């Protein structure tokens, strides 16, 4: 019978006696070679980058949410002239500076400024009785109106006074804790950057030329319109989770999706596949916890309170709440922020595509 060249149970694995790759030699050297083959230096760097993103995710979310405290919440005070100054000074001098009190001319003026989102509450002192009126707006975030009520009630108790609260812009009963606005914007942002990532990665991590970049941006716009409309329909007529007109929310949704998608294109054009990680850093890690969703800006620590209005999730969440609960007021600034991200991302996408095309045509 002919031997099977070492292929059988007792064979050496090769006719000429050589050891197959990974099949012999030093166990330590074999394992090291397998590791090098499985994990390239580029893969190792990417894994370290993902590790860093994970640590930043934990730091950002825990840092923003672990201990919310009101800080300089703008509130109005309507009180008799003889006690107004002392009351305002007392509210502004509370430990930790939770309130930033200022005088208002009348109750109607206080209500108007709350609905304009210039104030988060107003205390109206009853000169004839011992029960004062506190005006709040839970549509801007129930956690914020609750914090204002707690601080003012405690301050009034020390003065021997009671407080009756009136919500002049209440959150909808189906909008639990006022989070529907935030979740809607998160959905639009996720859809925007995932669409852009898929379009870019399909043919390489960077746009090959300006024409392809223009096509991708056009597809993003069509996708943004569709997701904006569908998101507005689902959050409103389908679920009843948020009031507000579908057309206004749909238009906002298209802008949010375009902003997130164009930003992703720009980061990918600049950094290649690492641009996806940069998008996650800006929108998810920095943007979501600072968006004012669970805790509006006055309840967030200083860093998150400052960056939130300048990022896509924060500008989007503020604008959705303005549409739903404040008759579309106080939206100019956030809409400019979203437009800047959308237009700036598109311009940078085209610029990086042009630069890449020029480099490709340059003779070696």
What is the average pLDDT across 200-211?
70
- Give yes or no for residue 15 having a pLDDT over 50: no
Q: 277: Cβ–Cβ under 8 A, 6 or more apart, which residues?
A: 49, 50, 53
Structure tokens given for 240: 């009843």
Where is pLDDT greater, at 169 or 205? 169
pLDDT one-digit tens code per residue, 135-162: 999 999 999 999 999 999 999 999 999 9
pLDDT one-digit tens code per residue, 81-116: 999 999 999 999 999 999 999 999 999 999 999 999
The predicted pLDDT at position 362 comes to: 63
Among candidates 187, 181, 199, which has minimal Cα distance to 142?
181
- Give yes or no for residue 334 having a pLDDT over 60: yes
- Give yes or no for residue 310 having a pLDDT over 50: yes
The predicted pLDDT at position 8 comes to: 44
Among 21-35, 208-222, 319-333, name the one with the lowest average pLDDT. Answer: 21-35
Quickly name the fold that domain 73-167 has: D-Maltodextrin-Binding Protein; domain 2 (3.40.190)
Structure confidence at residue 209 as a pLDDT band (50, 70, 90): confident
- Give yes or no for residue 178 having a pLDDT over 60: yes
What's the rounded Cα separation, in Å, for the pair 61 and 58? 6
pLDDT one-digit tens code per residue, 23-82: 444 566 677 777 677 777 777 887 888 899 899 999 999 999 999 999 999 999 999 999
Q: What sign does the CA torsion over 60, 62, 67, 73 have?
A: positive
Domain coordinates of the chain in residue numbers? 73-167, 176-361
The predicted pLDDT at position 50 comes to: 87
């Amino acid at each position: 019978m002919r031997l099977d060249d070492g292929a059988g149970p007792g064979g050496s694995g090769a006719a000429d006696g050589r050891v197959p790759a990974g099949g012999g030699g030093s166990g330590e050297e074999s394992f090291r070679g397998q590791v090098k083959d499985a994990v390239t230096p580029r893969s190792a760097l990417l894994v370290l980058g993902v590790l860093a993103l994970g640590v930043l995710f934990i730091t950002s979310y825990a840092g923003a949410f672990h201990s919310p405290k009101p800080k300089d919440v703008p509130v109005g005070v309507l009180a008799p002239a003889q006690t107004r100054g002392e009351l305002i000074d007392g509210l502004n001098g509370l430990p930790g500076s939770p309130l930033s009190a200022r005088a208002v001319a009348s109750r109607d003026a206080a209500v108007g400024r709350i609905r304009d989102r210039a104030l988060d509450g107003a205390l109206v002192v009853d000169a004839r009785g011992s029960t004062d009126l506190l005006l709040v707006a839970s549509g801007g975030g129930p956690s914020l109106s609750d914090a204002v009520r707690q601080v003012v009630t405690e301050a009034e108790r020390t003065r021997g006074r009671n407080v009756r609260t009136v919500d002049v812009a209440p959150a909808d009963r189906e909008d639990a804790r006022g989070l529907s606005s935030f979740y809607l914007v998160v959905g639009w942002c996720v859809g925007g950057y995932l669409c852009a990532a898929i379009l870019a990665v399909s043919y390489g991590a960077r746009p090959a030329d300006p024409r392809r970049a223009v096509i991708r941006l056009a597809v993003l716009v069509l996708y943004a319109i569709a997701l904006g409309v569908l998101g507005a329909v689902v959050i409103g007529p389908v679920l009843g989770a948020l009031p507000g007109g579908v057309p206004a929310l749909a238009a906002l949704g298209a802008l949010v999706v375009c902003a997130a998608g164009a930003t992703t294109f720009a980061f990918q054009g600049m950094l290649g596949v690492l641009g996806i990680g940069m998008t996650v850093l800006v929108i998810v890690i920095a943007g979501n916890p600072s968006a004012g969703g669970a805790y509006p800006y006055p309840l967030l620590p200083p860093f998150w309170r400052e960056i939130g209005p300048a990022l896509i999730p924060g500008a989007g969440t503020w604008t959705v709440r303005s549409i739903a609960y404040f008759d579309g007021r106080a939206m100019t600034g956030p809409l400019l922020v979203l437009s800047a991200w959308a237009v700036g991302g598109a311009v940078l996408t085209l610029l990086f595509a042009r630069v890449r095309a020029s480099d490709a045509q340059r003779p070696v």
